[in-house]
Amino acid sequence: MPIIIIKEEETMFEEHAKCNICKKEYTSTHVEVSPGTIVYVCQSCLDMAKTNFIWLCMGCGKAYIRPKQLVINRLKDPELKKAYMLCEDMVIVQGIDVCIECDPETISAYMGSLHTAVEC
């Protein structure tokens, strides 16, 4: 599961494509998740990512957005909680290989601890 931290200097690109998170805005801000896999994030989604964690499914492209405070408050694991609290002020889009939408059969086993963090 790659963790993508969007930095300011990565916003200077010429190509424009539809935002992978909201699928509405066109943006030039993008990051390379893995070789050949580009994720575009528009300005309004970047602003939203300051107060929300964003999970993006690499399988079907569905984005899951959860308020950071809610996610942190619900975590039981102290180590995991600490890790997420360190991310509280960062802009993070986390890529996941499959989600409940595109692979409901294997997702419960795959997501494991993440599942409790993602579910509201």
Which stretches of the chain bind Zn ion, using CB under 5 A?
A: 19, 21-22, 25, 42, 45, 57, 59-60, 62, 99, 101-102
Shortest separation between residue 23's beta carbon and Zn ion, angstroms: 7
Shortest separation between residue 84's beta carbon and Zn ion, angstroms: 22
Shortest separation between residue 116's beta carbon and Zn ion, angstroms: 18
C-beta of 33 vs 45, nearer to Zn ion: 45
- Burial of 113 per CB tally in 10 Å (0-12, 13-18, 19+): exposed
C-beta of 4 vs 42, nearer to Zn ion: 42
Contacting residues for 35 by C-beta, under 8 A, at least 6 apart: none
- Reading the block at residue 8, the tokens are 């300011």
C-beta of 15 vs 79, nearer to Zn ion: 15
Shortest separation between residue 47's beta carbon and Zn ion, angstroms: 10
- Reading the block at residue 2, the tokens are 């790659």
Following DSSP, what letter does each residue of 32-59 receive, concatenated?
EEETTEEEE--HHHHHHHTTEEEEEETT
C-beta of 17 vs 72, nearer to Zn ion: 17
